Chain A
């Protein structure tokens, strides 16, 4: 097929547009950094409240070199992973059960709604007393917080499976397992993955809330320790680390989504 000059021009324009769009988040970050540096330089806000980027970078390299950052990050990551495993696991299984047996929803929804609508920060101290002061209680706070999006999205996802497709599976005499594997799971996957994205970002909150209440290590503890030592640059470093973790986890799920939901993307274009 031959492309005319105009089509070529058009395509180049589109490429340029796409490139700019990809670049824009980086530009935003760069702009924020410049603004930050300017604020620090001019002393618009006292240095003790907003430390200059150079101080933060220095705190970062120090924390990296002495292993402090790695140690606390690993703790928090571990708590998050187990919390996600339990919270999302239970959420999905329970969500599936509720979607299949509406009676279960009537029985469980008061408890679930109560659990969800009560601020976890308020009862986190109780969880610390019940589940111990070690990582287990943080796994619980994480699990509790990531559970709900997984549950709701599992319910919505499974319930959104189209009835004609269910009829098709029945007419083909597909058993429960094949119906789940070939119909329900792939049909609910987009919704479940959307829930998983929410859970992934909430996991950091769950772990840090638990750590705030009482913990030996973890990024939440590092924030408190740095704050109590008036080491504001280290506070900023720790908070940014949490941000990076949350974004990475979100990105990871998005990547899985990209791989699994190829068909959705192709349908959209």
Chain B
């Protein structure tokens, strides 16, 4: 699925009665099956942008299109991964991952079968009856990822999914994300404030300014795939990272 963002602006009502500009205006396009990272300082409106693309928040001005159609409602075929794990604490791992299928009206045995098929790839085989509170941060995030994958979405909208994790877990999960994605191609839009993560994962990095977030740079990442953890020490990788950092520092000055 491809996306087209045209002069989107989002303002929030401020306590005094006037409007607080939170995002934009910003315009860009995302091609079919592209992996795009939205990179920017915290508070720049990247999460807001994801919510607009997901159809959860109508923009104050401008319009977003998916495959040429105006986004007005949550998109069928798009799955969101939220900032923290956003799991239901009263549901087991199995039931949390199965939630989208349950809402879609799938019978219990059917959806459990579908989820159980997925658990080995997520390294969660022995935890299907555990509750979220009993899981480590990384495991909980894998459950959250499982809840996305089980929907077999054509678009993944990922809002800083690994922000709460330690660096090592985070890198491992990022690569796992790529591995899981490799089986079938999807359009992925991932929000992050981590330059290395963006370069390692994306086909393209869109750098955003501080609030209200505008487009600062649109940098293609033509590193070979599959991406590997060692790549971050390679020259090309470092060059790209440096270039992106430069864009961020330019607008900070």
Contact = CB atoms under 8 A, between A and B. Distances in A.
The reply to whether A and B meet directly (CB within 8 Å) is yes
Contacts of A266: 131, 133-134
Contacts of B90: 186-187, 189, 261, 263-264
Contacts of B238: none
**Interface size grouping (class) on chain A:** 20 to 34
Contacts, number: 62
A173 B74 contact: yes
A168 B89 contact: no
A260 B89 CA distance: 13
B156 to A, nearest CB: 12
A167 B54 CA distance: 10
Contact of B89 (A170, A172, A182, A267): A267
A172 B100 CA distance: 6
B36 interface: no
A94 to B, nearest CB: 24
Interface stretch (B4-12, B79-87, B108-116, B241-249): B79-87
A183 interface: yes
Contacts of B104: 172
Nearest to B104: A172
Interface string B144-186: 0000000000000000000000000000000000000000000
Most B CB within 10 A of own CB, among A171, A186, A263: A171
A214 B89 CA distance: 49
Nearest to B76: A173
Interface string A145-179: 00000000000000000101101111111100010
A172 B99 CA distance: 9
A261 B90 CA distance: 8
Interface in B43-87: 51, 54-56, 73-74, 76, 78-80, 82-84, 86
Contact of A165 (B78, B88, B131): B88
Contact of B83 (A164, A165, A182): A164
Nearest to B82: A164
Given A167-B51, A168-B82, A266-B134, A174 B103 contact: yes
Contacts of B86: 162, 164-165, 168
B103 A173 contact: yes
A267 B89 CA distance: 9
A173 B54 CA distance: 11
Contacts of A168: 80, 82, 86
A171 B84 CA distance: 16
Contact of B80 (A171, A261, A264, A267): A171
Given A167-B56, A171-B74, A173-B74, A263 B89 contact: yes
Task: Enumerate the 8 nearest inter-chain pairs by beta-carbon distance, A residue then B residue, closest first.
Answer: A267-B133, A263-B131, A186-B90, A171-B74, A164-B86, A174-B103, A263-B90, A172-B103
Given A168-B80, A171-B56, 18 more contacts: A164-B82, A164-B84, A167-B56, A169-B103, A170-B56, A171-B78, A172-B74, A172-B99, A172-B104, A173-B76, A174-B103, A178-B103, A182-B88, A187-B90, A261-B90, A263-B133, A267-B89, A267-B132
